[in-house]
Structure 1
Amino acid sequence: MKRFNYILFIIIATLSACSFLDLEPKDELTRDNFYKNDREVTLALSGVYAQLRTLYAEDFSVWLNVGTDEMLYRRATFGKELSRMSYNESDIDLARIWKNSYTAINIANDFIGSLSALDTIPNLKRTDHDLMLGEALTLRAMFYFNMVRMWEHIPLRLDHFTDLNGNLDGLNMPNVPANKIYNQIVADLEASLELMNERPKQYGRVSKQIAHGILARVFLNMAGARVQGGDFGKNYCLNKVVEHTNAVVNYGYHTLLPEYEEVFLNEIKGIRNDVEVMWEVDFTVSDSRNLGGRIGNFNGVQISFTSGNQPFATANSYIAPTMHNALYSNTDTRKAWNCANFSFNNDGDFYFPVFTKNELRWYPGKWRRLDLGRDSNGELDDTAESLEMGVINKDRTSINFPLLRYSDVLLMRAEALYLLQGENEQSNQDIELVRNRANAGTLEEGLMQVDGNYMKLIQEERRRELCYEGHRRFDLVRWGILLETMKDLSENIRANPSFREAHEIQLVAPGERVEEKHVVFPIPSDELQINVNIKQHNLW
């Protein structure tokens, strides 16, 4: 972990028009004179939430999704080693993610430790005190969950750390087994359930129902190939997935929106609706400050550059052809939204779509800054429609990124019950709910697509429903099929008539370079040099 040679909170706003997270930024607030009243506690918690924006602006939302069988980095001459599986311990992106993640954990630890030590704070009700503590525990669990899935055996720090007093014991912490990290994640989330309300106090904050959903995801990952149940046992973990997804379903508030594309139009337009998207990272570009992300720019449909205040998207990724070839039924509405066979060009400030039949040049369509224009009869009219609301910035966007969706809750329950019981009525119902919303056909028709392989149906349903949302790589690892999936993808692309080695070699790179070691990431070399007690992962 990097030396933290400062004692401060960087408090930034992450939600517009929201009293909790749209607080005025503070440059430096020393810990010695902080937590004097309810407002300062709220500012401090806002600083913990702000770390989500740092982590999901592009790293966990874009770069860790590119290089799967969903998205492929499209740049041939330069680019992200993460996406090409050509990274090593010296990779600058891994170093950034490691540093930012431990910074987030350190800030969460400071809040948890400071608030836990104070029984009373002026103007802060005890219920709010406990609620905020539960929120910080949930956030710390989320930060550690991302890290343990990437690096597995990592240092476990639960206290705020600074090296101002030369505390080398606090700096040089050894790796601990992944099981111990998972145990702490579970402990934090279970503790948060006792402290938080069923619903968030304000939009964008976490709640008991969100903690249930994240716990289900944690236990499902623990039941997978890399962890094998950990210290709990595989069946225990699967039963916990069912328990926590049941809690969300039985609560009765969350459900699927009527139309699949409505989920993402809400994200693009900044419409705050947590019926299906239970938790999201909010990004805001305003006239006064830029708290935007790269969603829709780095991972959207390409939009050519113009001068002036017009949308622009570098579109750093294509989608894998297996994302649309035979993945969807003819009636499945998700295909048209997920798979964009067009980009946008311009004549001055006038944009128009450009379609392509080359299926290696399709874009992820979920977070599109522009959409296809239509006339009064609903027919395409060769124009572009702007989707973003508010201030438009070429480099960053106000498009939000989902962390937990209700459809994921249903699919997690379906998978856990199937692994426990085999095919069963509840799993059938959960999958049918997701498929019916997309007009994807009956369960039987879905099974026919995968030759009757029920587990394969669940895997493909997750890809159809949750693509580009940060799940696929971790799903492939926990299913134990990352290597074979990526190798098969490369063969598929090479067999494509449109494939030209000189122009698309980067698309086959991850599948042709993938090895067993790529199920985890190497600990960054900077950390290995600073921390004398840490060791590299044995696969690296």
Structure 2
Amino acid sequence: MEKIKRLFGIVGAALVVAMTIYACDTDSFLSSPAQGTLSSDVLANEDGVDGNLIAAYSMLDGYGNYGGWGTAASNWTFGSVSSDNAYKGSEPGDQQPIADVEFYNWGTSGVDTYVNDKWSSTYDGINRANATLELLASVDEVTGEDRASIEGEAKFLRAHYHFEAWKMWKNIPYYTEEAEDFRKPNTGNNPIQSILADLNDAIELLPTSQSEAGRVTQWTAKAYKGRVEAYTGDWESALSTLREVEQSGPYALRDNFHQVFSASGGNGSETILAYQASVNDGEPGGANGNYPDRLNFPHSGSPFGCCGFHQPSQNLVNAFKVDGGTGLPLPITDPNNWNSDDDNFAAGDMTPVDPRLDWTVGRDGVPFLDWGEHAPGWIRDRGYSGPYSAKKTVWEQGTDAGSSVGWSSFQLHFQNLHLYRYADALLLLAEAEVEVGSLENARTIVNRIRERAGQAAQGPGTSLDNIEVPIDDPAITWANYQVGTYDTPWTSASEAREAVRVERRLELAMEGHRYFDLRRWGIAQETLNNYLDVEETRREYLTGSDGYQERNNLYPIPSVQRELSEVDGESTLEQNPGW
């Protein structure tokens, strides 16, 4: 991990080929040396190959020293604010393109810029992976297991970045190191087939463990393959792949939920793929410290000072309420009334709640890790986007994880960013079990997740030692934490399916998955329009949304990429339907 962090600063300096461009009106770059980069002659050695590979890893957070907040690998804009989990936050007019994403008004020039930033960052990662493979082919001194691992890591990263693009647009071009022209069409190919081929190669090439934390392994590739199979609805394949990961892989749930998001934890048993964040490492702007996510802290009035984006919705907060008798989610036990509470849900309201609520959401009067109680003054504009703050990406005061350099440096930190974790994989396996009819296996998995949720709650937080306490600790005076398991067998696939989906929302809330889940389940339009019908009565600004339409099932292809792909005046990138 230290080597990976040390080399993050080379971002892009080692690239030797370029297939993706961001602002150019000719294709001469294909035959011209890139300005400010090292030549292939200088890099044609083992260190150069490894440097290229680390440059590919460095794009895992989405930041490549260009673009805006849309590049974030956490997908807080495109996967969370676009869903029923979160509002844009902040105040009116600040980062209007994110408001347009929230409104499903994705045809604006602002959203076009944001999606272009996302396109650029994903294809930059692809380019860096391909640069590694191209350079590796010319360097004979890298041999044996080292050569196989580098090739496997690069192919895994190429698959990951393409999958991120596929989640956004589905109709995408797939680039390998053999591509000679970046102007490839995005139709008439099967990117999922290519993604799976790269993952299969990675599985064959990668070792089962690595000496440096942060590098991917054979198990990373297997777990990721199961993810791709689940997202595409290939349930039989996902079942086989993810069962092997569960039964034979090295992963395990952390002892309690907070440990997954603690800056003191680094990589743990639950980490499948994470961005290895780093600060105070010589990078002058703190860019290795989760740069694209730094807006998502409480605003001035809080210990953080900025910036109040990505605020949890009232709908999400209500979803964490549980039945007082069983400890099961109210969306399951009372599906018609669980979302009826319009009021600020603050400390002292003893409505039973899942303890994951206060690991995910900052609420007034409730301790906020070890930073003191969340207070009304921590919110930038409560009348605009509500009283709640995002919490999972905030580090504990006692870890001293913040950066000392960079704009708004307090929000730059060394807490690793999980891109895929074991609980996510288990819940995908539970979905597969449901879809093939193994309801008891699915129930067992969901109960494992819920049992872990009950291991600790937010404590007084006067120090690192008492952030985590038992859920019935007498020091807890602000909430009534309960979490139960499904003790009665599920009798139908529909019952089981809904329980798994609710569990996935609670476990992964504010991690950028929700929109993509709703879309792949085929319920995005119904769910999100129902959400808006109620939520606009709570947050008046949401009345500006025209609602979710069929075209919102895919993000629009960025206009500049379509222009750059033109051959004889015709774009090789076909726009997604409705845009």
Taking structure 1 as the reference length, what is the TM-score of the superposition?
0.79
Q: Which residue of 2 aligns with 1:63?
A: 77
Specify which of 484, 499, 502 is matched with residue 441 of structure 1.
Answer: 484
Specify which of 507, 524, 534 is matched with residue 482 of structure 1.
Answer: 524
Do structure 1's residue 36 and structure 2's residue 44 form an aligned pair?
yes
Do structure 1's residue 23 and structure 2's residue 7 form an aligned pair?
yes
Structure 2: segments with no counterpart, 5+ residues: 14-35, 323-351, 455-482, 567-571
2:73 partner SS:
helix
- Give me the whole-angstrom Cα distance separating, in 2, the residues matched to 1:254 and 1:159: 32
Per the TM alignment, residue 334 of structure 1 is displaced from its structure 2 partner at its CA by: 0.7
Q: Which residue of 2 aligns with 1:523?
A: 557
Q: Which residue of 1 aligns with 2:274?
A: 280
- Give me the whole-angstrom Cα distance separating, in 2, the residues matched to 1:353 and 1:472: 25
Change over 3 Å in CA distance of 1:108–1:24 after alignment to 2? closer
Kindly tell me the number of residue pairs found equivalent between the two proteins: 465
Summarize the alignment of residues 325-340 of structure 1 with structure 2, pairs less than 5 Å apart: 325-329=318-322, 330=352, 332-340=354-362
Deviates more, 1:405-414 or 1:423-432: 423-432
Per the TM alignment, residue 413 of structure 1 is displaced from its structure 2 partner at its CA by: 0.8
Q: Which residue of 2 aligns with 1:109?
A: 130
Taking structure 2 as the reference length, what is the TM-score of the superposition?
0.74
Summarize the alignment of residues 87-166 of structure 1 with structure 2, pairs less than 5 Å apart: 87-88=106-107, 90=109, 91-118=112-139, 120-121=140-141, 124-159=142-177
Counterpart AA for 2:6: D
Deviates more, 1:404-413 or 1:134-143: 404-413
Do structure 1's residue 391 and structure 2's residue 403 form an aligned pair?
yes
- Give me the whole-angstrom Cα distance separating, in 1, the residues matched to 2:493 and 2:160: 37
Per the TM alignment, residue 444 of structure 1 is displaced from its structure 2 partner at its CA by: 4.2
Contact 2:267 2:416 (8 Å CA) reproduced: no
Contact 1:206 1:279 (8 Å CA) reproduced: yes
Counterpart AA for 1:254: Y
Summarize the alignment of residues 222-233 of structure 1 with structure 2, pairs less than 5 Å apart: 222-223=232-233
Per the TM alignment, residue 420 of structure 1 is displaced from its structure 2 partner at its CA by: 1.0
Change over 3 Å in CA distance of 1:147–1:415 after alignment to 2? same
Change over 3 Å in CA distance of 1:486–1:394 after alignment to 2? same
1:272 partner SS:
coil
Specify which of 492, 496, 499 is matched with residue 457 of structure 1.
Answer: 499
- Give me the whole-angstrom Cα distance separating, in 2, the residues matched to 1:25 and 1:331: 43
Specify which of 409, 427, 449 is matched with residue 411 of structure 1.
Answer: 427
Do structure 1's residue 539 and structure 2's residue 536 form an aligned pair?
no
CA deviation vs aligned residue, 1:395-446 (integer Å, no higher than 9, x gap): 533332101111112111110011011x522111111100111132121489
Change over 3 Å in CA distance of 1:419–1:303 after alignment to 2? same
Q: Which residue of 2 aligns with 1:3?
A: none
- Give me the whole-angstrom Cα distance separating, in 1, the residues matched to 2:432 and 2:549: 28
Contact 1:296 1:397 (8 Å CA) reproduced: no
Specify which of 300, 304, 307 is matched with residue 311 of structure 1.
Answer: 304
- Give me the whole-angstrom Cα distance separating, in 2, the residues matched to 1:294 and 1:342: 27
- Give me the whole-angstrom Cα distance separating, in 2, the residues matched to 1:238 and 1:489: 29
Contact 2:260 2:268 (8 Å CA) reproduced: no
1:102 partner SS:
helix
Counterpart AA for 1:83: E
Counterpart AA for 2:115: L
Q: Which residue of 1 aligns with 2:16?
A: none
Counterpart AA for 2:313: A
Per the TM alignment, residue 187 of structure 1 is displaced from its structure 2 partner at its CA by: 0.1
Per the TM alignment, residue 386 of structure 1 is displaced from its structure 2 partner at its CA by: 5.0
- Give me the whole-angstrom Cα distance separating, in 1, the residues matched to 2:365 and 2:399: 15
Summarize the alignment of residues 245-324 of structure 1 with structure 2, pairs less than 5 Å apart: 245-265=242-262, 268-269=263-264, 271-286=265-280, 288-289=282-283, 290=286, 291-294=288-291, 297-300=294-297, 302-304=298-300, 311-324=304-317
Specify which of 186, 200, 205 is matched with residue 175 of structure 1.
Answer: 186
Change over 3 Å in CA distance of 1:522–1:335 after alignment to 2? same
- Give me the whole-angstrom Cα distance separating, in 2, the residues matched to 1:33 and 1:343: 60
Contact 1:197 1:207 (8 Å CA) reproduced: yes
Q: Which residue of 1 aligns with 2:349?
A: none
Q: Which residue of 2 aligns with 1:164?
A: none
Per the TM alignment, residue 195 of structure 1 is displaced from its structure 2 partner at its CA by: 0.4
Contact 1:278 1:404 (8 Å CA) reproduced: yes
CA deviation vs aligned residue, 1:433-484 (integer Å, no higher than 9, x gap): 0011113212148979x99822111111001001122211111110011111
Q: Which residue of 1 aligns with 2:227?
A: 217
Contact 2:5 2:278 (8 Å CA) reproduced: no
2:436 partner SS:
helix
- Give me the whole-angstrom Cα distance separating, in 2, the residues matched to 1:427 and 1:305: 44
- Give me the whole-angstrom Cα distance separating, in 2, the residues matched to 1:262 and 1:30: 41
Contact 2:443 2:496 (8 Å CA) reproduced: no
CA deviation vs aligned residue, 1:131-189 (integer Å, no higher than 9, x gap): 1100000000000001112111122221366xxxxx7xx14221224x61000000000
Contact 1:304 1:344 (8 Å CA) reproduced: no
Contact 1:297 1:395 (8 Å CA) reproduced: yes
Identity across matched positions, percent: 23
